[in-house]
Structure 1
Amino acid sequence: MSVGETGVAMMMSVRMAPPLLLIVLIMIHRVSSAVWGVSYSPLHICAVKNSSVIMSCTFTYPTGHQIMEVFWTKNPVKGEEPPDLSEDPEYSQRLQYLGDKQQSCTIRLSHVTQKDQHKYCFRFITDIDKWTGDPGVTLTVTDLQVEAPERVTEGHNVSLTCKSSCTLTDRATFIWYRNSQPLTERRDRNNQLLLQSVRREDAGRYSCALHGHSYISPAAHLSVTYPPKNVSVSINGSGVIVEGDSVTLICSSDSNPPALNFSWFKGRTFVGSGRIYNISKISSDHSGEYKCKSRNEHGEKYSEAVTLHVMYPPRNVSVSINGSGVIVEGDSVTLICSSDSNPPALNFSWFQGGMFVGSGRIYNISKISSDHSGDYKCKSRNEHGEKYSAAVTLHVMYPPRNVSVSITGSGVIVEGDSVTLICSSDSNPPALIFSWFKENQSSAVGYGQSFSALQSGRFYCEAHNQHGSQRSDSVTVTVKGPLVILHISVGVICGAAVIITMLIWRSRMKKRKNSLEAQMNHSRPDHDRCTSDAKSTEPIYENVTMNHSRPCDVEVTEPVYENTMHDKP
């Protein structure tokens, strides 16, 4: 019977024993029970899951007893033999006895879990009796939980707490982790982590653990809210934008919560909303700087501006002429071709009329002449196309040249009449001033493009414009008296009459001869021999009396000459 069992029997026999004997038995029991006992420190243990727990205890027993067996048991039941934990498969690998089995009964229980939450007692057996220490050690196993707000605004302070379901027995040193990485040198003796002036980099998954323990709490997510940052614009495509293409601009930003409000600006002008801005059939008018504005409930921010360079072929091609616009023969003239294109045109061609005359944006003509007058245009070209300019006309000014005088009529006039002389010239602008001179006279005898000469002499003209003058060659004008003119006129008339009369007479003589020969041939079928002179059929006409010999004896009727100026024979 154990000491405990002996005590119970003694209490049951108290009513039957005499008073003196009862007193003696009580005193014996107190002395005996005073040397039996188990002491635990502490009586309650709060341990973290997966940690190791030390249950410290010492025990005493009466002198003369010999320890036969020691072990720990859980949740002992009165009246039942408690089991030895070291023989329980769930504990055999995790339970380690650290005592000496004489006085120290300390043990270590490793990798505790919620299943290990029990009341544990030490029991020892001597060669005389058995003893189970009461009240034992109560073990509570807890996990760790991080308590943190879901979100905090950038710049504010926030406190995170590593919580357990019971007060940890050991003096705990906490270790904190962010995104599974330990926070450098952040070991707090209390269970709180204070983040001051929170930055967006402080956002993440936070967990805690006890120094020296492998268990790490589940992570709690801390969200740091902040206004948009790192706002930028990206352009889709290859980067080469040609007029007519479709272009998409995308606005990106870093913010929490994500920005849902986006605005687009070209320069300072609002052009659209939304994270994506589309331009279909882009033109050069869309060229310029674009930026977007990103906004959430904590603030807003503009991007860095991006520039759209829209490529397009030449247009608005034009030609400019340097100088005052008045071009005089002998001047140097520069034509400049200008155009609007992207990229700028580097290929220029020049044409006079339809003929190619040169290349380059600038076309120089040194010592210009009237041959250079005409329409000029240039052609501007880049890799996207080409275009011609409108034609510009070069008007080359030059003084009169090729000055000449023309005479209406023969230039011979009767005294008292006049002959008109006309002065012509080639000049630009046309000559408007004409001066007339008579040779050997220094002063002008007349002005105007036409001049009426009243006397004989050699005359010339000078043509003038604002660029110079030139004189013509001289022409001769002859003035005759009235009698000379009359004699000349009569002679001319008489001569004409003689010529006309001779022509009429010759024609009649030819007809008469032809008739006479026809009669002779008809009357003489057999031709007589005649002298060779008879073969001559053409009469010889002289300005004398007609007298023809007849080589043959043929009767010839003399012709009658009428309306002639010759004497008859």
Structure 2
Amino acid sequence: MGVFKWPLFFVFLWFKVVQTEASTWTATVPSSVQGIDGSCVVIPCSYNYPEPGKQITGYTGIWHTKTDDVIYHKDKNQIKQEYKGRTELVGDITQKNCSLKIDPLRQSDRGHFYFRIELGGYNRYSYRNNEVSITFISAPQPTVSVKEEVVEGQNVSASCSVSHSCPSSPPGFTWTHSGEKRFQSQQLTDGQWKATSVLTFHPTKADHNKSLSCTVRYKGGLEREQVSNVLKVKYAPVNVKVDYKSHVKEGETVQLKCSSEANPPANSYLWKNEEGAQLHQGQSYKLINVSRHTGALYCTAINTVGESKSSPVQLNVSYAPVNVKVDYKSHVKEGETVQLKCSSEANPPANSYLWHNEEGARLHQGQSYKLINVSRHTGALYCTAINTVGESKSSPVQLNVSYAPVNVKVDYKSHVKEGETVQLKCSSEANPPANSYVWHNEEGDRLHQGQSYKLINVSRHTGVRYCTAINTVGESKSSPVQLNVSFAPEIKKISCSSEDDVVKCVCIVESSPPSMVHFVLSDRVLSSTKTETHGFNTTETLHTKSGSSEFVQCLAMNTLGNVSLTLPLAVNGKMQNLYIFIAIGAGIGLVILLIVLGVVRKCRGRISTVATSQTSATKREKAVELPHYATTKSMEMDHDDVHSPGIYSNDHIYGNTETDWDEAIYANM
């Protein structure tokens, strides 16, 4: 070899040694696995091999007996006849898992067995040094674990565990007690598994001094049963009862004795009356000088777990009637007939019964009393039971009479502003209470269902409403409800006519509450000479001299706002001619002024600066005293429109627009 080949050879040899040490032909299996005849067994197995340095084309795992008989091969024809159909690889051979399952297990399957791997395109190897055998055992006895001392009603968990070798078909568990069952599985070593059944149940006193039994059934049919320790169930006292002499005479002494079943036994006894007041503590209770007033009582037995009480004890004492009561059909409809029957406790029994009303008036004699045509106004009554010792009366009896709704009424805020929301609420007297409320308008149209009805954006046109209350007996409706809707004034119409210098104006205003209406001519504020009111409409009429006024304004206001409407007045013939002459004179004056200016410019031959003094004419308006308006709206009209209804609905100049003219007027109000 050359100088450079030797070092390369040693490097290659070292790499091969390291590679071989890192990964060699090894297998891991237990030396022995336990199994039950008829069940199954899984032999855990893993293997390793040297790194091939190239792609493996296939994996073939084979299990042999010590005598080289094939017990598993992927080619079924190569498997020994007695193992066909009973063996399979349960591990992934490509992931170096060679675990084998034998199912069912036979006595002849004792082994020894070893694993062989054939790697396609690489190598094959038999792991003869890693043999495993199967040891047959009898079915293991299960282990039962449960808390011995438990409390009635609390959660108790009992477990039953057993080891096995067949994870694919674990043992089945059967308990002698009902409850919630939960299965758990845990892998142990050497092919063994632990199966556990956990039973959760609520013990009762019937479980006291009894055991739990768990039966395990293995694959193959073998069964094993295990019994737990005896349960000691703690429970509160039951079957609490009182022993006493039941028939006594008034004035005698009676001995009462309480007993119960309990674990642990009751360590305390309390005696109470029907109202729950404590009378005595101790297992025995001596009643001295019993009387007709000695009521029912009971005994409460107590231990560390809880308590329980006896049935009420009522001594049979000779006394005048007590516990007088009336039996009757409590729920009746108005108009029906009801049978009342009086009963009492008395010794000797009552021999007479009298019926009275609340005022004490006698109504009837006899144990039974028939009330005909009952009504909601049928008052309370009572029965008096009488025997040879004395008498006693029942508690007042008040019949529960069912009737259709009456006194149906609507609660609401009666005064509202237009645009607001109003809540209407219907109420009634009824038995049973009304279960449905329906709202209608005057025409009978159904508007809403429900006890409350919200009217949104109410207006002056909101009509009458009424509510119908309904229950299972019948129905009834309320009186009509008409809302009192307030709204700001609206001028519906204004018209004026003039003759000579007298003007007559009519202004129609719609509002609620009614508006104060005034007329304004120039600087004069005038009240109307005639007022008529029809519903929401107020008609105001003005007769006055027009003077120099060219416009008339109608002003209306109430607590919610104000509005104004301006109407031009017609100009008479004389004033019209005067205006024409004034216009002609002004035109002639302007022409003369222009001529004079031209002559002056020519004479001087230069541009002259003409100082022009500006004059300002201030128009003073007389202060007018009017009530203050929160908001002013004004309207203007052409004289040609004075008789047109809806005068501001289709033309913008008639709309409610704010103007400086209005502000000037209201500044002095």
Length-normalised TM-score, structure 2: 0.35
| Bigger radius of gyration | 1
